[in-house]
Each structure stands twice: as structure tokens, then as C-alpha cells.
């Protein structure tokens, strides 16, 4: 899927980077092929704009922040969060700043410890989750890194239970058990929820994560796909531990994503240190990365998956492709007369 060629995808919120990264000053980021600069205003609110000064096109991310404003490091032109130039040091005091002295600004919000950006008017509000304000849960940042794969590829993989036995045979996957114990999928207005029960291996290094010392245990998934490229995975272990993972496959361009992942747990740092959780999940995610960076990142969405009736584990990917096709057609980005092959 060539994400940069579909303007409707600009109308969703994407996690871009941890807010903490903005403490070091303006930061560049490319979202759907659009070069941005993000900075933190005086009250800690993030802002985002085009990463080009309107004067001589220097990158604003090479500048600095003063109060709420970002300052170009080339000639000191200063911009507010609306993209308007509010100061030109070289301009005489009796001259007004030209009306055209501005850059494109973008919607930017702070949520879950990250800066989120929507390039155009959002179709849906930024997601929320009850764990964020529940004192029984703690939030842990996990990943913020670039992968050479497509956003749709990561979303398909996030709901593909068939790969556990093979890709994750070195961590939790049971090589002899490629099928889930239970699988059910329900479409929703935001996308779908897949409920799955999967037996998994439980090596000693994951005992504190699962809350069990048994050699095997089970994961009960309530795995939500939120259009277009956000996953919320609610895991419950027999021990009573709730482990909720959010994964944003933020599209940098047609071939790269920024994977941003954080989780919630209803235990304490003493029971299971965040460093241990991240060390284990780094191993698991590294197994996914090796495979996903070996596939074609484009993932054409109009390719038929004729094995759906024989392979229930492919159904999430089939539904994703169909719903994305419907989204594109609804916004005039594909011919209405074209019939879906999925």
C-alpha cells in the first residue's frame, strides 16, 4: 500500500515520538512523506509545523525554541504554533511582517507520553484507554525505532497468530502448535476486535512477566485494530495479570515506519521491573523485525487472499484490506465501480 498516495490517511492521528525527546530542542520527523519539525512550548504542549523556513528554506529543526516559538537557525525568523512568522529580526520597526510569511502547521497533541500528529482534519478523535487513568496500572514506554517495512505489513503481523509457532519459536511460540485454541473476530466502527486464546511457552526469563512458573501457559487476547495503523492488544494471563500493549505503525513513507509501542500492567515495578519487560519484548519484537524487513513493504491492498476460508489466521488481514479499500473509495481515492477482490 503506497500510503503517501492516499490523502485520506493524512486525516488520522499518528504517534510520532516520545515527548521527552522534545526536551532536547526541535526534532525533525517525516510523516507520510511530509517533513515536519516538532517542538515543545513553554507549558509542555507539543507543536508541529513544516520543517522549512519560508525565507530561504532552512530546516527549522536546526534552530531552537524561545518560549512558545521556534526560531530558524539561519536568520532568526520566529514562528508560532499556527505557522505564522511573528518576528523577522532584519525587518525595520515600522514594517509589518508580510502576510505570506508563514509555514504549514499541523494538529499536534500529547497523549500517553507521546506527541501525536494529524496532517489534516481528523476523521476520528485521538484514541483513549481506561488504563491511562487507572491507578492499578502503570505505563511503560517500550519502542521508538524505524523499521524498513510497510505500516499495513506490521498491522497484519500483529493479528497473525499463525506466525507465533515459527517466528517466535525462540521465545514463546510452540513449534508444534501453529493453531490457536480459540479464535473469533468481530468488526467494529473503528476496525475490529479479535479474541484469541493461544497456548505459549513460558521459559524462566518470562516467569515474572506471565506471573507463572509453569513451563507453559496461555494468552487470552482481546486484540483491537484501529484504522488505519494502530493496534491495542489486551492480554490476560491465568495468573490474573493484565498486559495491554499499544503499537503504532506510524508511516514515514511508502517503505518505512516508526514503530512506537508502550504497555500497561496491573502490577508493580517490584513484581516485574520495566527493564525486564522491555528486555523480553525486545527479543520478541526483534524476531518480528527480521521477518517484516524481508517482505515487500508495499502490501497491495487489492490482492485476493483466496485461502481465507481455509486459514482463519488470515482473516484479520483480509478485513483490514477490505476496510481500507472501503475508506479509499468513500473518499474518492479509488473508482467506485471497481469491485473488491478481498
Q: What is the pLDDT of residue 328?
A: 95
Q: What is the pLDDT of residue 299?
A: 72
Topology adopted by domain 130-324: Naphthalene 1,2-dioxygenase Alpha Subunit; Chain A, domain 1 (3.90.380)
- Delimit the CATH 3.90.380.10 region(s) of the chain: 130-324
Distance CA 64, CA 61 (A): 7
* pLDDT string in tens for the chain (342-residue length): 899 999 999 999 999 999 999 999 999 999 999 999 999 999 999 999 999 999 999 999 999 999 999 999 999 999 999 999 999 999 877 789 988 999 999 999 999 999 999 999 999 999 999 999 999 999 999 999 999 999 999 999 999 998 999 999 999 989 888 888 899 999 999 999 999 999 999 999 999 999 999 999 998 999 999 999 999 999 999 999 999 999 999 999 999 999 999 999 999 999 999 999 999 999 999 999 999 999 998 877 765 455 454 566 788 999 999 999 999 999 998 765 444 443
Place of cell 522491555: 278
Give the torsion sign (CA, 5, 7, 9, 12): positive
Region of 73 (left: φ > 0; alpha: ψ -120 to 50; beta: rest) is alpha
- Delimit the CATH 2.102.10.10 region(s) of the chain: 3-118
CATH code 2.102.10.10 for 3-118:
yes
Distance CA 179, CA 312 (A): 9
Reported as a single tens digit per residue, the pLDDT across 104-130 is 999 999 999 999 999 999 999 999 999
Amino acid at each position: 500500500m503506497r500510503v503517501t498516495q492516499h490523502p485520506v490517511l493524512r486525516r488520522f492521528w499518528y504517534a510520532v515520538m516520545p515527548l521527552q525527546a522534545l526536551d532536547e530542542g526541535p526534532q525533525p520527523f517525516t510523516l507520510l512523506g511530509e517533513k515536519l519539525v516538532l517542538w515543545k512550548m513553554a507549558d509542555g504542549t507539543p507543536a508541529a509545523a513544516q520543517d522549512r523556513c519560508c525565507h530561504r528554506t532552512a530546516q527549522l529543526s536546526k534552530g531552537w525554541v524561545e518560549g512558545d516559538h521556534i526560531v530558524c537557525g539561519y536568520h532568526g525568523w520566529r514562528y508560532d504554533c499556527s505557522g505564522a512568522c511573528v518576528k523577522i529580526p532584519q525587518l525595520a520597526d515600522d514594517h509589518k511582517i508580510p502576510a505570506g510569511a508563514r509555514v504549514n502547521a499541523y494538529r499536534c497533541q500529547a497523549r500517553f507520553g507521546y506527541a501525536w500528529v494529524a496532517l489534516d482534519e481528523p476523521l476520528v478523535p485521538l484514541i483513549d484507554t481506561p488504563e491511562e487513568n487507572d491507578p492499578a496500572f502503570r505505563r511503560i514506554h517500550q519502542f521508538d525505532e524505524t523499521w524498513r517495512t510497510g505500516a499495513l505489513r506490521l498491522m497484519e503481523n500483529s493479528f497473525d497468530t499463525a506466525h507465533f509457532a515459527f517466528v517466535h519459536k525462540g521465545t514463546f511460540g510452540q513449534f508444534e502448535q501453529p493453531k490457536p485454541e480459540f479464535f473469533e473476530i468481530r468488526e467494529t466502527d473503528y476496525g475490529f476486535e479479535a479474541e484469541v486464546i493461544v497456548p505459549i511457552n513460558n521459559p524462566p526469563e518470562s516467569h515474572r512477566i506471565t506471573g507463572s512458573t509453569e513451563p507453559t501457559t496461555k494468552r487470552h487476547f482481546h486484540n483491537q485494530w484501529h484504522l488505519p495503523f494502530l493496534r491495542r492488544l489486551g492480554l490476560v494471563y491465568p495468573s490474573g495479570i493484565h498486559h495491554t500493549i499499544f503499537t503504532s505503525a506510524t508511516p514515514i513513507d511508502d517503505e518505512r515506519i516508526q514503530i512506537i509501542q508502550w504497555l500497561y500492567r496491573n502490577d508493580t515495578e517490584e513484581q516485574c521491573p520495566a527493564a525486564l519487560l522491555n528486555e523480553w519484548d525486545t527479543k520478541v519484537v526483534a524476531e518480528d523485525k527480521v521477518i517484516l524487513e524481508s517482505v515487500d513493504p508495499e502490501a497491495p491492498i487489492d490482492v485476493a487472499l483466496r485461502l481465507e476460508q481455509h486459514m482463519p489466521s488470515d482473516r484479520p488481514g483480509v478485513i483490514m484490506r477490505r476496510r481500507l479499500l472501503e475508506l479509499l473509495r468513500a473518499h474518492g481515492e479509488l473508482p467506485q465501480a471497481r469491485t473488491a477482490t478481498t
